[in-house]
Structure 1
Amino acid sequence: MPQTMSQREQYDLEWNGWKAAAGAFEGVRRYGQISRRVAALAPERMLDVGCGDGRLAREIKQIWPGVVVHGCDLSVAALTRAEGVDRRYAVDLNVDRLPEPDGSLDLVVASEVIEHVIEPGRAIAEFHRVLRPGGHVLITVPNVAFWRFRLEALRGGVPSVTADARHFHSFNAALLNALVAGEGFEIVTVTGLRQRYESLAAMGFTWLCDTLLLIGRRS
């Protein structure tokens, strides 16, 4: 029987393959959108969970210079390419604690991460632990209630967001809110991100946006 590829091996394969290609992330606008929200929170020390090759860290530092960014990822291959982070380390959120002291960070960003972990509540509890009182968590996830995903289901198909074998969980705004609040965070905002027509995020984001963005505060 062939050996099953581990999650780390799967992501290393991606980072040694298509994600390493020039232009692999061309046109992905969420990094700039997230960076502007990070700058508004004005952190001094932050952690980028699932940092990949550091492209979000680099964009954040362009808008908010001087911030110290730690970056972690499951993929070792991604971390070998990571630029723009001040400290980087491999971590498996399914089993590992973050190697950060309690209450040591102002902000934790986890963009397109928690849908990939087996127990997202455990990961969010770790984010809570490493944040100082008053610190923030910023999370983005695919929005299963996006109108195109609904249409795929109505046509008898499996929405692409749930068909992705790398996704262990699917979220709408209510599920994401309940998960994060359940780990002790005060919810500051839940809204949406759009690749195009960003102004729609201020309207019916629960079905017009393919990505959800949540900001929570540690009391």
Structure 2
Amino acid sequence: MNTTAPPRRGGLRDFYEDPAVPVASGTPRSLRQARMLATALGAPGKTRRTVLDIGCGDGTAAATAAPLLTGHTIVGVDWSQDALKRARTRLPYAVRGELTGPGLPFGSASVDAVLFSEVVEHLVDPDAALDEIRRILRPGGHLMLSTPNLAAWYNRGLLLAGVQPVFSEVSLRAIHGRPGREVVGHLRLYTARALREFVAAAGFEVVRLEGAPFHGVPRPLRALDRLACARPSLASILLLHARKT
């Protein structure tokens, strides 16, 4: 789900082109984010609005959102050719694009909204990524960003116990010192406060911040994880809505 091409081969690029690396995230997060965007866009008018799912992975998140965004055009964007092959089985439009280097294949101020789901935590240069997203968004355009919460309720307890937080990684080869079984290539993690400040500094107005549950939480703890969503600063996943100023 990374759309920034890493600077050398044999490293992050090959990691994300590996079909075994997860490129989809949980349905509850996708639905919550889609509802936020549908509310922001309102009822479709005579002109269809263009929504990009940047870092679309296998297209699952965009396909989940599509029924809530009828009347709008959804385009999946990813730099991974393997991910795009899978995305094209779910989406009518899926194109290759990078957030750095040549940039995205869209003109300035040409897009109405961007879904940026579980991507920013994978990026080498998140500042350049938000600059590129701001370039392609029309004035007042919507950014719907989601990312794991470093300060999730269980991570606070894990840190107190001296355990590596969930979502954080110290290696692309194996799990070390934290719960979980999958290596997913997270390079950066954000708290609610840090995410707000980061997005605002990139030239966006933060409209709303919500929480979402994490599909990987053990079943006995899922009810508690859903309750934590009432306090975004404690939630597993951060859902941020911002507008281009």
State the TM-score, normalized to the length of structure 1. Answer: 0.86
Mark the runs of 5 or more structure 1 residues left unpaired by the alignment: none
Q: Please tell me the residue identity of whatever aligns with 1:30.
A: R
- 2:189 corresponds to: 170
Q: Please tell me the residue identity of whatever aligns with 2:16.
A: Y
For the residue of structure 2 that corresponds to 1:161, the secondary structure is coil
- 1:64 corresponds to: 69
- 2:217 corresponds to: none
1:88 to 83, 86, 94: 94
Q: Please tell me the residue identity of whatever aligns with 1:216.
A: A
Mapped pair 1:120 → 2:126: yes
2:156 to 147, 150, 154: 150
Rounded to whole Å, the distance in 2 between the matches of 1:96 and 1:38 is 28
Change in CA separation of 1:161 and 1:19 when aligned onto 2, cut-off 3 Å: closer
For residue 100 of structure 1, report the CA deviation from its aligned partner.
0.7
CA contact (8 A) 1:149 1:161 kept: no
- 1:180 corresponds to: 199
For the residue of structure 1 that corresponds to 2:164, the secondary structure is coil
Q: Please tell me the residue identity of whatever aligns with 1:181.
A: A
CA contact (8 A) 1:94 1:118 kept: no
Q: Pairwise CA RMSD of aligned residues? A: 2.2
Mapped pair 1:38 → 2:29: no
Q: Please tell me the residue identity of whatever aligns with 1:31.
A: S
RCO higher in 1 or 2 (8 Å CA, sep ≥ 6)?
2
- 2:114 corresponds to: 108
Mark the runs of 5 or more structure 2 residues left unpaired by the alignment: 1-7, 172-184, 215-221
For the residue of structure 2 that corresponds to 1:188, the secondary structure is strand
Rounded to whole Å, the distance in 1 between the matches of 2:96 and 2:29 is 23
Q: Percent identity?
A: 33
- 1:138 corresponds to: 144
Q: Which has the higher helix share?
A: 1
Rounded to whole Å, the distance in 1 between the matches of 2:191 and 2:239 is 11
For residue 199 of structure 1, report the CA deviation from its aligned partner.
5.1
Change in CA separation of 1:103 and 1:84 when aligned onto 2, cut-off 3 Å: farther
Change in CA separation of 1:164 and 1:96 when aligned onto 2, cut-off 3 Å: farther
2:20 to 4, 17, 25: 17
1:193 to 202, 205, 212: 212
CA contact (8 A) 2:56 2:62 kept: yes
Aligned residues: 209
For residue 80 of structure 1, report the CA deviation from its aligned partner.
0.5
